[in-house]
């Protein structure tokens, strides 16, 4: 588990586990845009085609309007031209309305930027798992 502390935003941490072609992230606490980029940077060290971001235990409240676009720009920069996850899929589970709204904006920014990875938002983790299992 990775943890971090900031004066304004307490962050509990995240847990990552990998099984075959799937990496599952369990994110807890208040998440900032920089922390999302940091988690993704760690993921790219040994990526899988599929990622499940279980965000049921976190809050995206620290995000402001411009943050999703910045995060997408950072993610595209990290993956660079030699994309490691061509045809990959990432499912985000955000059951709360406010968090889902932030994630919808992030996904829309990624699609507008031709991110290349299929991203989807779910309120239920079982629905997310089913989507990731589809071919």
Mean pLDDT across the chain: 84
> Which has more pLDDT, 9 or 112?
112
Which range has the worst mean pLDDT, 35-44, 82-91, 101-110? Answer: 82-91
Task: Give CA–CA dist 49/42, Å, rounded.
Answer: 15
For residue 51, is pLDDT > 50? yes
Starting at the earlier edge strand, list the strands of the sheet with 50-59: 2-5, 10-19, 22-30, 50-59, 89-93, 118-122
Residue 88 binned pLDDT confidence (cut-offs 50, 70, 90): confident
> Is 90 exposed, middle or buried (CB count within 10 Å of its CB: 0-12, 13-18, 19+)?
buried
Question: What pLDDT score does 7 carry?
Answer: 38
Per domain, the residue ranges of the chain are 2-133
The average pLDDT across 75-93 equals 78
Predicted confidence (pLDDT) per residue in 89-134, tens digit: 999 999 999 999 999 999 999 999 888 889 999 999 999 999 999 8
Classify domain 2-133 at the CATH superfamily level: STAS domain (3.30.750.24)
CB 121 within 8 A of CB 90: no
| pLDDT over 70, % of the chain | 85
Question: What pLDDT score does 43 carry?
Answer: 84
């Amino acid at each position: 588990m990775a943890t971090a502390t900031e004066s304004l935003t307490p962050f509990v941490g995240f847990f990552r586990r990998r099984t075959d072609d799937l990496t599952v992230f369990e994110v807890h606490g208040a998440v900032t845009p920089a922390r999302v980029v940091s988690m993704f940077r760690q993921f790219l060290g040994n990526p899988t085609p599929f990622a499940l971001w279980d965000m049921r235990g976190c809050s995206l409240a620290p995000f402001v309007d411009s943050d999703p676009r910045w995060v997408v720009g950072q993610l595209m920069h990290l993956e660079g031209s030699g994309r490691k996850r061509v045809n990959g899929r990432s499912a985000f589970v955000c059951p709360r309305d406010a968090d889902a709204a932030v994630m919808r904006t992030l996904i829309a920014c990624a699609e507008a930027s031709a991110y290349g990875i299929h991203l989807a938002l779910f309120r239920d983790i079982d629905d997310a798992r089913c989507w990731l299992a589809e071919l």
